[in-house]
């Protein structure tokens, strides 16, 4: 299992975190998504067929791009 912590500057509130969790949860292989609106950090646990690029692409599509 892979685990990545991503900083997402566009997070402004808990609702933003809910939107991210819902969207990333649609990706096959994503096991867990946790977020903190205060720190603007999201932790994603995933296995194949998901990829980190697919996760980041999904975040960009919903206007919550991860910092590099």
CATH topology of domain 2-61: Alpha-Beta Plaits (3.30.70)
Domain boundaries, the chain: 2-61
Q: Is the pLDDT of residue 68 over 90?
A: no
The strands making up 2-7's β-sheet, listed across from edge to edge, are 2-7, 41-46, 30-36
pTM of the predicted model, to two decimals?
0.93
Residue 61: per-residue pLDDT: 97
pLDDT of residue 16: 97
Q: Is the pLDDT of residue 1 over 90?
A: yes
Q: Model confidence over 5-62: pLDDT tens digits? A: 999 999 999 999 999 999 999 999 999 999 999 999 999 999 999 999 999 999 999 9
């Amino acid at each position: 299992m892979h685990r990545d912590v991503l900083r997402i500057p566009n997070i402004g509130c808990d609702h933003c975190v809910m939107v991210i969790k819902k969207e990333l949860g649609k990706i096959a292989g994503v096991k867990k998504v946790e977020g903190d609106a205060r720190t603007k950090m999201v932790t994603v646990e995933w296995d194949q067929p998901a990829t980190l690029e697919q996760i980041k692409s999904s975040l960009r599509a919903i206007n919550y791009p991860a910092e590099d």
